């Protein structure tokens, strides 16, 4: 304790020294004066002392926890235990569902719009979770599949007047197809190389969309895309937003359902095995090529589908919506939330998308906070907000207990 205290004081003195010319001395060139702002020095000292002390305290706690983990006994957090309690989970799900359903009735259209974009990222996060979280294949160009879906709807709607519901599955399937196209050349790559190629793929798609004017109308994008129809009923903007909101809720539920089923299936186990150890996985009789391709294709499927909805919601798309930044945010959602954990990814999406919306006042510091949050997360909770809970099986009777996290 005393050592930490002394160290923190040293850190704070060092910071005072470093920031002295910037924070304390100010030369007023018009009046030929030098101002000495001694109060700033005090603030820097106090601030850096507190931060340093807090840092040391957290690191000590982290180390203590690692020691416990090394001794083989892993303590589960209270949240984790609560999540494994089935009756609690059903109640929580019911409450959340009711809340999601009455949301547009209680709040105004602005709130619904924000919620829609958050839900879009939930689906994107869950989709990428299949590729990155379960199969362990890094994908930095995920937004390309999102773009494929969005442009599929925009172009099909523009040229052929196809409706939202027709194109929705088409978008998903096109996403799948592009997933396989990306998957083939990178079957043998892993780690850094995989990151580079997927990053390149994302860039290529965006550049093609920007420059192939005849096909995608270039940077000016496509406007006046139809909103989703409901048996030909004319809706005003509010009604339409509410409608899209409900479609989005349904889609999120669908995604959760499918990813949950997949994760605890034969295919899902193969993905996880592939993530854990590729050589052992192949030696146990799992077809690597097929498993990898299916992970890419299924991950991309959701991006393609939600891309269609994105185009229908904004009614205007251009390549600027599909930058690398988007891929990075989706990846952050997965990492922050907890790789492989469905609940974690959902929480991650809400935190990363909703917080910046409601903290508009601090928007200038957004990237700063984002970066700091990531660094802190990697140090103190590298497994994400919610770590993956494994399924427990009933192995004596003939009934299976489905316990998903």
Partner 1 sequence: MAEKHKLLEVKGLTMDFGGLRAVDSVSLEVHEGEIAALIGPNGAGKTTFFNCITGIYTPTKGDILLHPKGLESRRLNGLKPNKVTEMGLARTFQNIRLFHDMTVLENVMIGRHCRTTSGILHSILRGKAVREEEQQIVETSYQLLEKVGLAEFTNEFSKNLPYGAQRRLEIARALATEPFLLLLDEPAAGMNPQETADLDHLICKISEEEQIAILLIEHDMKLVMNISNPIYVMEYGKKIAEGAPQQIKDNPKVIEAYLGEETDA
Of 56, 89, 227, 269, the one binding partner 1 by CB under 8 A: 269
User: Tokens in use for 139?
Assistant: 């994908």
Residue 288 binds partner 1, judged by CB under 8 A: yes
Block residue for tokens 């209270």: 78
Query: What burial letters (b/e) apply to 160-178, b meaning 16+ CB within 10 Å?
Result: eebebeebbebbbbbbbbb
CB nearer partner 1, residue 154 or residue 295: 295
Of 127, 268, 304, 319, the one binding partner 1 by CB under 8 A: 268
Contact (Cβ atoms closer than 8 angstroms) between residue 151 and residue 216: yes
Residue 272 binds partner 1, judged by CB under 8 A: yes
For β-strands 33-36 and 25-28, DSSP reports them as antiparallel
d(CA 377, CA 399): 39
Binding mask 204-243 for partner 1 (x = CB under 8 A): ----------------------------------------
Residue 191 binds partner 1, judged by CB under 8 A: no
Least Å distance, CB 328 to partner 1, is 25
Of 35, 74, 85, 108, the one binding partner 1 by CB under 8 A: 74
Total binding residues for partner 1 by CB under 8 A? 37
Block residue for tokens 């580079």: 196
Least Å distance, CB 280 to partner 1, is 4
Contact (Cβ atoms closer than 8 angstroms) between residue 291 and residue 276: no
Of 182, 251, 298, 346, the one binding partner 1 by CB under 8 A: 298
CB nearer partner 1, residue 217 or residue 301: 301
Residue 138 binds partner 1, judged by CB under 8 A: no
Of 51, 282, 328, 377, the one binding partner 1 by CB under 8 A: 282
Of 65, 190, 261, 366, the one binding partner 1 by CB under 8 A: 261
d(CA 370, CA 352): 8
Of 13, 101, 280, 375, the one binding partner 1 by CB under 8 A: 280
Block residue for tokens 């409901």: 230
Least Å distance, CB 265 to partner 1, is 3
Helix (H) or strand (E) holding 199: helix 192-211
Q: List, as one string, the DSSP characters of 115-181.
A: HHHHHHHHHHHHHHIIIIIIT----S-THHHHHHHHHHHHHHHHHH---HHHHHHHHHHHHHHHHHH
Residue 188, SS3 per DSSP: coil
Residue 388 binds partner 1, judged by CB under 8 A: yes
Residue 8 binds partner 1, judged by CB under 8 A: no
Residue 72 binds partner 1, judged by CB under 8 A: yes
Residue 396 binds partner 1, judged by CB under 8 A: yes
Contact (Cβ atoms closer than 8 angstroms) between residue 232 and residue 103: no
Binding residues for partner 1, per CB under 8 A? Answer: 72, 74, 258, 261-262, 265-270, 272-273, 276-277, 279-288, 294, 298, 388, 390-396, 398, 400
């Amino acid at each position: 304790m005393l050592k930490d205290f002394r160290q923190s004081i040293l850190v704070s003195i060092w910071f005072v020294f470093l920031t002295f010319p910037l924070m304390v001395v100010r030369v007023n060139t018009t009046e030929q004066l030098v101002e000495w702002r001694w109060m700033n020095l005090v603030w820097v000292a106090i601030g850096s002392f507190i931060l340093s002390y807090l840092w040391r305290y957290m690191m000590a706690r982290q180390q203590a926890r690692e020691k416990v983990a090394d001794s083989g006994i892993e303590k589960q957090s209270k949240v984790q235990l609560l999540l494994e309690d089935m009756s609690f989970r059903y109640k929580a799900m019911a409450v959340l569902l009711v809340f999601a359903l009455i949301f547009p009735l209680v709040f105004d259209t602005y709130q619904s719009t924000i919620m829609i974009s958050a839900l879009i990222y939930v689906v994107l996060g869950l989709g990428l979770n299949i590729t990155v979280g379960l199969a362990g294949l890094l994908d930095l160009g995920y937004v390309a599949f999102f773009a494929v879906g969005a442009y599929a709807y925009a172009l099909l709607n523009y040229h052929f007047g196809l409706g939202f519901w027709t194109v929705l599955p088409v978008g998903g399937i096109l996403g799948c197809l592009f997933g396989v196209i990306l998957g083939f050349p990178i079957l043998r790559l892993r780690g850094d190389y995989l990151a580079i190629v997927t990053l390149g793929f994302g860039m290529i798609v965006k550049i093609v969309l920007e420059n192939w004017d005849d096909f995608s109308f270039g940077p000016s994008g496509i406007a006046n895309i139809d909103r989703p129809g409901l048996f030909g009923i004319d809706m005003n903007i509010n009604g339409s937003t509410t409608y899209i909101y409900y479609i989005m809720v349904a889609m999120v539920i669908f995604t959760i359902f499918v990813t949950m089923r997949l994760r605890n299936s034969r295919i899902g186990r193969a993905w996880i095995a592939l993530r854990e150890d590729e050589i052992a996985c192949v030696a146990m009789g799992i077809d690597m090529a097929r498993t990898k391709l299916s992970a890419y294709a299924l991950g991309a499927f959701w991006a393609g589908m939600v891309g269609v909805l994105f185009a229908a919601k904004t009614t205007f798309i251009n390549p600027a919506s599909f930058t690398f930044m988007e891929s990075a945010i989706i990846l952050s959602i997965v990492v922050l939330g907890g790789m492989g954990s469905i609940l974690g990814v959902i929480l991650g999406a809400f935190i990363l998308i909703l917080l910046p919306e409601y903290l508009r006042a601090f928007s200038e510091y957004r990237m700063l906070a984002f970066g700091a949050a990531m660094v802190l997360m990697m140090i103190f909770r590298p497994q994400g907000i919610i770590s993956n809970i494994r399924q427990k099986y009933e192995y004596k009777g003939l009934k299976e207990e489905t316990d998903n996290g």
